[in-house]
Amino acid sequence: MTTTAIASSSRATRRFGNIALQIGLVLVVAGLVYAAADNAARNLQAAHIASGFGFWNNTAGFDISQTLIDYSSSTSTFGRAFWVGLLNTLLVAGTGIVLATALGFAIGLARLSRNWLVSRLAGCYVELIRNVPLLLQLLFWYNAVLKALPELHGSVTFPGGALLNNRGLFVPRPQFAASSPYVTMTLLVAAAAVVVLRLWARRRQERTGEQVPVLWIALGLLLGLPLAFIFLTDVPIRFDYPALGRFNVLGGIEILPEFAALLLALTIYTAAFIAEAVRAGVLSVAHGQTEAAQALGLRPSTTLRLIVVPQAMRVIIPPLTGQYLNLTKNSSLAVAIGYPDLVQVFAGSVLNITGQAVEVIAITMAVYLVISLVTSALMNLYGYAIAVGER
Amino acid sequence: MSHVMKRVATAFALAMALVFCAQAAFAQATLKAVQDRGQLVCGANGTLAGFGMPDPQGNWTGFDVDLCRAIAAAIFNDTTKVKYVPLTAANRFTALQSGEIDVLSRNTTWTMSRDTTLGVDFAAVSYYDGQGFMVRKSLKVNSALELNGASVCVQQGTTTELNLADYFRSNHMDLKSVTFATADEAVKAYDTSRCDSYTTDSSGLYAERLRLTDPSANIVLPEIISKEPLSPAVRQGDDAWEDLVRWVHYAMINAEEMGVNQNNVDDMMKSDNPDIRRLLGVEGQFGQGLGLTNDWAYRIIKKVGNYGESFERNIGQGSPLKIARGLNALWTKGGLQYGLPIR
């Protein structure tokens, strides 16, 4: 044999060995998982504890204070309760992520401000908030919010018909009559127009260098078109106004104090960490970039928006993803204040009524894992999309 | 907050134990384990005045706690050899299933599904209770049937949570329940007017009312909407241990029926009444059947007292709760407590 043949054959052997090792490892892990599951099932049986997932379709029988989908204690199943809890988790986490990002960016940029007072205030915010445990902040907000709000019959009434008391914030619910699909359609048409406008504006700028105020036109389209439609066609919009009942506010859209407190705590807490990530990202952009932009005659706000932030995003995205995951997982502290999130409803009520701790905890952990992995994947995609090609 | 962590930790520990422990790792002989350890581990409430709560000096007292003290008296002749584990409604069964506690004595309702699917057994009904509602007097509500559309604070993982939904549904009333993991938080939310009403077992209502900012501004409505037979629970599969817990309870009932109490128990040893002689171990070998000495019941009565004494001291006229005996009077006095014969 020639030396190359020997080399290639030994490389092949090594590769085969590698593959065999990996297959073996996978088999061992799979075996362990199977043995653990089998052992758990047998132990449950020996301890006379019900097991399996048969409970999923049994009637739940308990009430939930906030439900985004139809749910009734008499007819809905434990499975339905799971979805109610999951949606409540996603609602508070989703809203929290949006608000925390906005607040975090504002604080992070404020901390870099040349204005001494603004930057110190932002610094104080960050140090104060991120050094106090979230649970304490949550309890503080919940108790502060509840204590400060008036009782039912002393409700604060806002112009427009919204009511605020210690049962929550109640806003009028718009009720479109039969023509509501058309209103939705005009909204879709407006959205499509905005996309077209943006493409046209970009091409125009590339060709002529002239800019179009896309943002304002887009806002005008999105708000104006449906409103114009409503007025022109004389669609009667009714509002379901909240009204004081014997015990509670009746009607309207209800925002629970538990939701408000949790959202407030998660937003304020996470924003402090996001602010630091933003500050680090902005500081990582070489000062020469700003100077170059100034030399080209860009205004400071435009420099920030077009030159600094896009480059800073490369540094910001990984820690930002981490904060999004933290916020989502921290939303499970809802259990401390009675907000019906996944943990409170499913790993709380359902677990206790069915007594099936192993199944319920396993499902709950799997759900948080999936939410986190999906969030990470989306953020990674965004990261690739905005990555600046290295030269 | 520790209880949240604790609940998840307990559930996780159970999962781990079930997944990784070899089969039959759960010892069958709880009595032997307790004796070897030199201490009974008792799952108790921790925040319910009169039933299970440490006093300012850290000594656990209460009606449910007395059962654990009685078990310790029967086994060790020492009521202090008990370690109390405060549990929430939500983590109590997991703590029992996982072996963290030997007996659960924490105002727990005996229901069929719990008995048949949770891997636990109930020993004896120590307190006949029923669910009620508390409201602020200022609401001017006189009946639970007037609560249509009311917000009700409730503790999660309880039969209460389910009865509440049932009651409002069957009376065609709208319910806005606000569910909390612990009674503490539910009561606090009620106290800050987050809810119009707080619901739990009526014994609990009287106990929790004492913790409100202004107890006298609140009333308990007359309706009792459910049957809540409260019972100590043990792990299923250790029949000898279940027998022991059951007979500790009946020894206390029998003592009250026979007029044997903490003060006269020494004199009663000389009694001619064969029932009393068997109870106190002067005659027969009844203690041995439980794996104890024959003076097991004497120890209980000497150290803890009979059922009536424990009731009055903790939740009855000798306590701030002043709960009437009601269903928990002896059967000879129109109640449901009936001592099974020691014979």
User: Nearest Cβ partner of A147 from B17, B18, B192?
Assistant: B192
DSSP β-ladder status, B175-180 and B150-155: parallel
Task: Please answer yes or no on whether B11 and A347 come within 8 Å at the CB atom.
Answer: yes
Which CA distances in Å does A191 have to A184, A204, B274? Answer: 11, 20, 92
- pLDDT single digits (tens) B93-142: 989 988 999 999 999 999 998 999 899 999 999 999 999 999 999 999 99
- Cα–Cα distance for residue pair A185/B223, rounded to 1 Å: 53
Please state the separation of Cα B319 from the chain's center in Å. Answer: 17
Q: How confident is the model at residue B24 (pLDDT cuts 50, 70, 90)?
A: very low
Check CB contact of A49 with chain B, cutoff 8 Å.
yes
Q: Determine the average pLDDT of the residues in B84-88.
A: 93
Strand order in the sheet with B131-136: B175-180, B150-155, B197-201, B131-136, B218-220
Check CB contact of B27 with chain A, cutoff 8 Å.
no
The predicted pLDDT at position A176 comes to 64
Chain B residues within an 8 Å CB radius of A360: 11
User: Nearest Cβ partner of A358 from B18, B181, B189?
Assistant: B18
Say whether B337 sits in a helix, a strand or coil: strand
Check CB contact of B335 with chain A, cutoff 8 Å.
no
* Sign, CA torsion B293/B295/B299/B301: positive
Q: Determine the average pLDDT of the residues in B254-276.
A: 95
Say whether B141 sits in a helix, a strand or coil: coil
User: Could you say which residues from 155 to 174 on chain A have a Cβ atom under 8 Å away from some Cβ of chain B?
Assistant: 166-167
- Cα–Cα distance for residue pair A208/A29, rounded to 1 Å: 62
Q: What is the CATH number of domain B131-226?
A: 3.40.190.10
- pLDDT single digits (tens) B297-336: 999 999 999 999 999 999 999 999 999 999 999 999 999 9
> DSSP H helical segments within A112-158, as ranges?
116-130, 134-148
Residues 6+ apart with CB under 8 A from A26: none
DSSP state of A305: I
**Shortest Cα distance from B336 to chain A (angstroms)?**
28
ipTM of the prediction: 0.80
- Cα–Cα distance for residue pair A225/A191, rounded to 1 Å: 10
**Shortest Cα distance from A333 to chain B (angstroms)?**
8
As to burial, measured by CB atoms within 10 angstroms (0-12 exposed, 13-18 middle, 19+ buried), residue B237 is middle
Task: List, as one string, the DSSP characters of A168-234.
Answer: EEEEPEEEE-TTHHHHHHHHHHHHHHHHHHHHHHHHHHHHH-----HHHHHHHHHHHHHHHHHHHHT
Q: Determine the average pLDDT of the residues in A88-105.
A: 96
Task: Please answer yes or no on whether A61 and B162 come within 8 Å at the CB atom.
Answer: yes
User: Could you say which residues from 78 to 107 on chain B have a Cβ atom under 8 Å away from some Cβ of chain A?
Assistant: 89-90, 93-94, 97
Task: List, as one string, the DSSP characters of B155-183.
Answer: ETTSHHHHHHHHHHHHTT--EEEEEESSH
Task: Please answer yes or no on whether B14 and A357 come within 8 Å at the CB atom.
Answer: yes
Choose the mutation target among A166, A247, A254, A342 for the interface with B, i.e. most B CBs under 10 Å: A247
Q: How confident is the model at residue B11 (pLDDT cuts 50, 70, 90)?
A: low
Q: Determine the average pLDDT of the residues in A182-186.
A: 77
**Shortest Cα distance from B77 to chain A (angstroms)?**
31
User: Could you say which residues from 167 to 206 on chain B have a Cβ atom under 8 Å away from some Cβ of chain A?
Assistant: 168-169, 175-181, 185-186, 189, 192-194, 196
Angle at A66 between CA A61 and CA A69, to 5 degrees: 80
User: Nearest Cβ partner of B117 from A43, A61, A355?
Assistant: A355
CATH class of B2-128+230-333: alpha beta
* CB hemisphere CA count around A263 (13 angstroms): 15
Task: Please answer yes or no on whether A47 and B156 come within 8 Å at the CB atom.
Answer: no
Q: Given a cut of 90, is residue A219 above it in pLDDT?
A: no
Task: Please answer yes or no on whether B23 and A46 come within 8 Å at the CB atom.
Answer: yes
**Shortest Cα distance from B277 to chain A (angstroms)?**
39
Q: Which residues pair with B57 in a beta bridge?
A: none
Q: What long-range pairs does A71-79 form, CB within 8 A, spacing at least 24?
A: A73/B165, A73/B166, A73/B169, A74/B165, A74/B169, A78/A350, A78/A353, A78/A354
**Shortest Cα distance from B332 to chain A (angstroms)?**
36
> Please, what is the average pLDDT of chain A?
88
Amino acid at A65: S
Q: How crowded is residue A23: how many other Cβ atoms within 10 Å of its Cβ?
A: 10
The predicted pLDDT at position B1 comes to 44
Q: Which residues pair with A157 in a beta bridge?
A: A163
Produce one character per residue of B184-223: b if its CB has 16 or more CB atoms within 10 Å, e if not: bbbbbbbbbbbbbbbbbbbbbbbbbbeebeeeeebbebeb
Which CA distances in Å does A211 have to A214, A294, B279? Answer: 8, 19, 98
Angle at B51 between CA A65 and CA B251, to 5 degrees: 130
Check CB contact of A255 with chain B, cutoff 8 Å.
no
Task: Please answer yes or no on whether A62 and B157 come within 8 Å at the CB atom.
Answer: no
Q: How crowded is residue B6: how many other Cβ atoms within 10 Å of its Cβ?
A: 17
Check CB contact of B263 with chain A, cutoff 8 Å.
no
Number of A/B CB contacts below 8 angstroms equals: 167
Q: Given a cut of 90, is residue B4 above it in pLDDT?
A: no
Which CA distances in Å does B238 have to B28, B93, B119? Answer: 5, 16, 11
Choose the mutation target among B136, B143, B178, B199 for the interface with A, i.e. most A CBs under 10 Å: B178
Q: CATH 3.40.190.10 residue ranges in chain B?
A: 2-128+230-333, 131-226
Chain B residues within an 8 Å CB radius of A243: none
Amino acid at A296: L
Check CB contact of A261 with chain B, cutoff 8 Å.
no
- Cα–Cα distance for residue pair B187/A280, rounded to 1 Å: 45
